Chains A and B, each alone.
Chain A
């Protein structure tokens, strides 16, 4: 008797689902997935119609085993993205087994090895609409493979980072074969020279983003690159072949489209070369000169020729006297300024600079050890709209400075106060930053559960909290955080020696938690870990080094439930680390 009614119900439900437009249905499913990522599974199990709807809704297929790809593609015929980054080994045979999948437009093979040119031939043949291909870390990737990739004529985005065997020949094939290319990464492609780049610039006129970091390029590749009319982003990190002479060869205003230039770690560039860059690229929005050269006043005043400059990164630079001051004078439109690990940043210069930079949204003064409350007063008073402030290890800043932050910077979303002189009172003041989503208060030995209570009450949007070596924290504080911040995704409790399984039990209620670091917490045991494993099903990174109470039992729970785990840092004292679908295990042996 029961069977007919069930049948009847199913029949009634299916037409109802059919009546709903796919767009609406997908919106509902999006909402459902945002609340509970595993809800989609349940939905797909409800009926055939739901199953089909879920199949249509899926945008990404992240396979654990490449040899089962054909079946997966049969289950999800409309999925556009194929992520094989969890398959460390993808053989030519498994790629050859792919049947035609016209829906697939993006394939990620960045962490896979074991396939060659033949596999790529099959992949390109199976995915006629391929527009996005990531072949990073392809140490076996050769020119023959590049010739096969070149057959994907619709390719728009291609990453070949660390394909060290690639030469101009392969790049030439790709340049001729993929005229629609918009984004190309040739990072660490040390075999590529100006000849290949010349051809690339000639054939791929639509190129917008070009990454040439750590390549051996020299001066003579510039003319071709500068001819790219649509180039917006040029990454030249660590290109030691680029020096002042090379930059001097740039013509005045040679590239009007370029918006982002990253030349960090280019040791052979001095202020002379920077001046040439500034003259050549007047429309830059972002300039990264980290770890390049000392910042002189003339250099920083030349920045005023880039009217629209919004982001300036000068990490690790040595500031000459008045160098920072003239940044304040010349870059008034600046929204993001990064000065981490700079020497020569003093209260006088910094407070002068920030007083002119009214639009500043992000400021990084990590390890600027000379600054005091004076600077902080200037920052908080002149940049009230600041959303990100990173000031790790600014040890001269006292708790008064922290109070100023809490009082004035109510828009702060990201705050890094690691290794500062912080106490519970400061945290109470900081709870005025209600929009905080990331808070790093590691190595603040004076904070306690009470401070965390203030944070948890006001910062309900908190997604990331770092309590590394904040030894005053106990289970009570962690419980406050876990209860007050349900959106928590990442928590670092390493070396908080007081915490026990109770903390983990409370954290297991944060279902979005994906990163948990409890290194060196001796009181945490397998029981706590099992709570995490069953509660936080999205957990992907776990650090349980030096948690000597955790044994095989905890690992078994992990293997059973944490299917998202991708990285576990553990010790050899744990014997069973198997059966977790696909993750990287880092074993530390004594």
Chain B
């Protein structure tokens, strides 16, 4: 093995030393790239390293202690496997515990990039073959008869749309609030955008990192040209202003809204090299050909990124923590992917800005507020810095809007089509006026929102930043515009315009994607930016919040059926009408998967213990997936921690060792084999201890990464739009917001509850089997233990069955977990919250977990969110009641309760919608917080696996976010097919 590896590395070194075409990659704007990579076997039988220094590559049989990154392989088979895979698959080895990585992952990516320069052609052929094999496997395995009828069934749902009655008191202008007469066919412009969205491949955009890196290279990062240490906020603000002034102002062809998130159309991938950007380094040569969600990238752009990335290898959140805190345990745990994922290595974006303030005052108004605040004599130097930085960023945003106005004017002057010319001229006026000044019309408000949205993503990673209560905030502008119209026909025309404008806004939201390295396709499959929009519910005064814009947004949601923006509907039992609920269900039925529905009252109950003001609670909106943020005043970073509860549970089964990772990580809490547990509570305590250990570690990492943000990427622009920050004169990364929390999500509640129930019933209560016997069966993945598996599956009442004992156990677990988090304080001085949704981690974590006492087999997905197991009860109503009876106070970061409803082929359209309404309403009445339906049969999903080309727009809800089914990895697709389904 030593010989082969050495030969490989020596060949690599030789090629880089002699071939000028390769040698050029050893040097960037900052000089030679100096780094070293080690390869070794756990048993010590292999040790090799390659070092690149000052333009020379050399190989050694030793790994020096200061080697940048070391790949530790579990055995020699896995080393051989590495030699046979493409760069995009390299990180998959970590995921499956075939390799452990010590050190800076960016250098592994650089090493992969170099490998791909040597083997690029071969890799491309390998990928092409894999994709072909995959496609024929799907056709063979999942082809079902009669697929035309299946495809048609979903399209037919758009026929016979229901008409609405005007029953909501704040719906003022829509005679038929359901807007049943409109379909996508009424809006050819939008139809074209939609077609582009589904047919054109996204491209990686280098603009943001290029301009920022340019500025930092000229002006320094840690210290300036004179060697004086930078104040991070000022540095960030100046670089940001430079970016905004110099980025290309683009008006998307035929759009009603000016500005784009990237320089690529229709969709660009934004790169944040201070976050996870360098993760794509190794894939620059293959990302175009990978099976899932490929991006285009030109050779030239790949070279640009290679040059940029070298600047950032050590200037990112992870490496800041690794270097400053000496590679802490909490970081090593995170880097095994299976215990928890701390999102701050990517961004802090899960929040909602104060858009009403932006629309009311304009950026100029906010600047005046800052100016006034700057005059305060009590200001510390830190306050002055923070406030000054905010102002600088606001100047950048105004500059960008001005450039857009200029671009619109250039386009208008050369435009031949008189209608379009007029639109462009209108955009000149709009971009000249907003977002600098207050908005006065719906067109101005929507454009101001979009320009600021683009600007926010130039500062913050596009992951989970959310749009908030657009219906509440846009209604005044719509109402004002309508009020200025006197004739009936003009009003009708304006309503159509409002639908088209909002549809443009939604489609603008699809103009960017987060950077997903291939491993992300397996961890967060099919996810986009998750820009949540929230509609309905109560107003801040506690009145009925459903208005004209609520229904316009719902119409757009229905017509487009796109994954992002992620539409979330609040429903207040007290204030909102049944007609509104029925419309939510109809849109859900037509689109298959959206909106997700929340109970206003029960989400409010979950937030009550925080002591927020009641009017602030009433202003909550979903963030990223489902999590509540109090709009415009709350840094809740609601997606901070994704915790694998099953990992803790497996560690409890194994006295602190995680079996798949083979790591003695947790505290010693007792051995089942040695008979350490004499009561159920003994074992519960063991689980609790392991769980608390992992939570403590995740919290520690989250706090360290939070500090990294204040140094590497403070966010003055976002701060200017979060209430509290200007008043306190403090950046939001340092606690400037009025409310500060950090949100966790805990994955595997049903699996852990059911496993504990099995242990309780079969081992301790009924004494049917011994704990050691059960453990043996679990360790053997139930192979050779069919009787135990049958007992487990049939003799234990589990969560979702309507059994009070299992429900009480689930409540005991959520209370415990909530308590663990609640003891901690985050970096910004706020509390941690606990949620129970899973994004797509129930599949990823499932694939890395062994069998469970619940009878779930090794590698299988957990249930999504906190959804009960499919076998819990034949009666769906039991599921609903059990989830509804979980105590909201322990779930203050919300939940995701997924239900698959399977309509019959001869669907009774309105009956189906009515049944959906009844489920949701009863669930809310009984205390449920959130519910989301996929209205689709397993047969349709199977057909989509075999014929993805026919289902490009098939939308599914994963756990909190939406995705196109065909963009998901195979495990996720299977999970959706096998998910609990009920006929309707």
Same assembly: no
Binding site for A on B (CB under 8 A): none
Binding site for B on A (CB under 8 A): none
